[in-house]
Structure 1
């Protein structure tokens, strides 16, 4: 479902956006300054409820907010793995990884590789890389 042509009218509740609001914003990210969003907004939206929307956005090379969505995928994977999946189901992450490996481009393949590497070696978790965007900015593989 593409909303590239629709207009974004803002978030009813920025702390808990709906999937449709997040998707509309992602194709018009300049319509809202992230500095006006709640602190740690990336951490707030990178939960189980919005992860499939974020995944779809990260899979779309034409999405203007793709790097933000990918950053949220790193938060989701890193948080799940480092907490031994207390925050979200391991099964959901595995399904996302499989889909990224089947149909993703290089950015998504790198995310999937890094998540699988972290699953095998949880000691590689570095907050800066996973939760502050380091792996997205550097686009590098662990190990």
Structure 2
């Protein structure tokens, strides 16, 4: 799957980017240094309004910012489970998991597996792994 690409012209509001801006940036991520972005930008964009875009980007193996998108999916899953599904709807997370299982590669399916494990066993949550990129940098199946 390939997400439509367009020229990145910058973020109107980096704290609250649009889906189109995030998508355009994802295919030209070197055009903006992440160090110039607001602190915890990953936490800011990993919310309900952009999670569909992030999931699409994570599914596209040609997307240069794919690992960032996958990292945001980890944050979203952790936030959903840690708040007992108050931060984000359980059905939305399940839909993302099913999409990753059906259309994703090994990295996406591993995220889906780990998310299912986290739902079943919230004690598997580790902030470093889920929110600081540990499971993206060091992919592994949890609880096996």
Distance 1:76 1:118 in 2: 12
Query: 2: distance between equivalents of 1:59 and 1:140?
Result: 18
1-structure distance, mates of 2:47, 2:40: 12
State the 1:96 CA deviation: 0.7
Q: Structure 2 stretches of 5 or more lacking a match?
A: none
SS in 2 for 1:50: helix
Structure 2 matches for 1:23-102, cutoff 5 A? 23-102=23-102
- Please give the secondary structure, in 2, of the residue aligned with 1:81: helix
Which residue is equivalent to 2:4? 2
Large movers: runs of 4+ above 6 Å:
none
Shift of 1:103: 1.2
Q: Take 2:62 and 2:106, find their aligned partners in 1: how far apart are those partners?
A: 14
Q: 1: distance between equivalents of 2:33 and 2:14?
A: 12
* Structure 1 gaps, min length 5: none
Q: Hey, what's the Cα distance between the residues in 1 that align with 2:119 and 2:33?
A: 34
In the TM superposition, residue 74 of structure 1 has moved relative to its aligned partner by 0.1
